[in-house]
Amino acid sequence: MALIVQKFGGTSVKDRSRIFNVARIIMNTRNAGHDVVVVVSAQGDTTDDLIAKAAEISSSPSRREMDMLLASGEQISIALLAMALQELGVSAVSLTGWQAGFNTDRAYSRARIKRMDTERVESELARNRVVVVAGFQGLNRSDDITTLGRGGSDTSAVALAAALHADRCQIYTDVEGVYTADPRKIPKATKLKEITFDEMLELASLGAQVLNNRSVELAKKYNVELEVISSINPVPGTVVKEEANVEGMLIKGVAKDSDVAVISVKNVPDVPGMSFKVFSLLAQRNINVDIILQSSGAEGKKDLSFTVPLGDAESAVAALQNGASRFGGGEISVDKNCAKVSIVGAGMQSHSGVASTMFEALFSQNINIKMISTSEIKISVIIDEQDADKAVAAIHDAFIN
């Protein structure tokens, strides 16, 4: 008998028939003799709908109230799924994130899990119940509800699996596993049998939404092997683990992230401390800077360009404008029509010519590269947003098909 954590995303529980489909998957796992802890997301587009509802009331709602609102989506799912299990004759109990012991820091809308208190979950398991836990939510030290950021139910599932020392953590979703690109956009994308934590972490961080990047971080830290699997077609999925069989694949995947803006500060004085002065203004506002490019400008001047998450672009520009006197001023501009397209694969460490193949694919589509960044296992380029889908297809063709 094993202890299995099974997570079901929004589309997997979007309506009555999907809920019963999920309940049957859980029942079959129970009938095979296993203990099951289930983590569920809000149904279908519920979270987006709740965000839209908030926007009807306020253009800048308080983050605390947003978390209070968004956490309600998952609460609907756990109750309905527990009812469906009970209808099938399976003993089940639903628990909110706080009942299940998710203690987080105070950062509303992007809270991090600080501690797991699993007594309640364990006592329910001891009573032979399937425990259905609301993903995405926790409680901070002031007993206020927090959420873990979009896609956070994956993280909830991995955290529970780690805390309970579960034998398996299965992430059920609406595709059959992790593919070499988003299978909804690239029909030729192929399913990977296995992928390493490091590769998956890059793919998830670079835009492949199939797993939330924090969940992969956590899985790597606690060595929780993940299985990404379809809730609709019962076929083998993708295993995410420390070491994977590379099968001679140079590139494991191509990802696109449109959540990027490029900010340029032109003609700043070319003197020591300039980068510190510019970027400390952004650090003060907790804005994450990703790719940075510095080039020489006119006489005694230089240009700085860097990327920030799209949602932080306005705040970044405001911070730079307010603090312009600190770095001697410059022309500040922002380009929001950008996308980051990346390739990921541990195999590129030991092969030459990977970058050149990627750039050739972009050239073949006449796509201009604005910025480039590399690490041992990934190459990213910033290009115009309208070219991004074409770029992903061309790059995927060059490496995988």
Q: Which of residues 39-68 bind ligand ADP (CB under 6 A)?
A: 41
Q: Which does 97 bind (CB under 5 to 8 A by kind): ligand ASP, Mg ion, ligand ADP, none?
A: none
Q: Which is nearer to ligand ADP, 65 or 225 (CB)?
A: 225
The span of 84-92, 151-159, 164-172, 198-206 binding Mg ion (CB under 5 A) equals 151-159
Determine the residue with CB nearest ligand ASP.
Answer: 153
By CB under 6 A, residue 208 contacts ligand ADP:
yes
By CB under 5 A, residue 151 contacts Mg ion:
yes
- CA 334 to mean position of chain CA atoms: 25
Report whether 326 belongs to an annotated binding site.
no
> Which one-letter amino acid corresponds to residue 30?
R
Report whether 7 belongs to an annotated binding site.
yes
Report whether 20 belongs to an annotated binding site.
no
Residues 152, 97: Cα–Cα separation, whole Å? 12
Q: In this chain, which of 97, 151, 152, 330 binds ligand ADP, going by CB under 6 A?
A: 151
> How crowded is residue 39: how many other Cβ atoms within 10 Å of its Cβ?
32
The span of 31-39, 97-105, 143-151, 278-286 binding Mg ion (CB under 5 A) equals 143-151
Report whether 47 belongs to an annotated binding site.
yes
Q: In this chain, which of 184, 188, 285, 336 binds ligand ADP, going by CB under 6 A?
A: 184
Q: Which of residues 130-189 bind ligand ASP (CB under 6 A)?
A: 135-136, 150-154
Contacts of 340 (CB under 8 A, 6+ apart): 206, 207, 256, 257, 260, 290, 291, 307, 380, 381, 382
Q: Which does 181 bind (CB under 5 to 8 A by kind): ligand ADP, ligand ASP, Mg ion, none?
A: ligand ADP
By CB under 6 A, residue 41 contacts ligand ASP:
yes
Report whether 29 belongs to an annotated binding site.
no
Report whether 328 belongs to an annotated binding site.
no
The binding track of 365-384 with respect to ligand ADP, each residue x by CB under 6 A or -, is --------------------
Q: Which is nearer to ligand ASP, 10 or 330 (CB)?
A: 10
Q: Which is nearer to ligand ADP, 90 or 343 (CB)?
A: 343
Residues 153, 39: Cα–Cα separation, whole Å? 7
Determine the residue with CB nearest ligand ADP.
Answer: 9
Report whether 384 belongs to an annotated binding site.
no
Look up tokens 């297809």; give the residue.
Answer: 393
By CB under 6 A, residue 42 contacts ligand ASP:
yes
Report whether 8 belongs to an annotated binding site.
yes
Enumerate the known binding-site residues. 7-10, 47, 74, 173-174, 179, 184
Enumerate the known binding-site residues for substrate. 47, 74
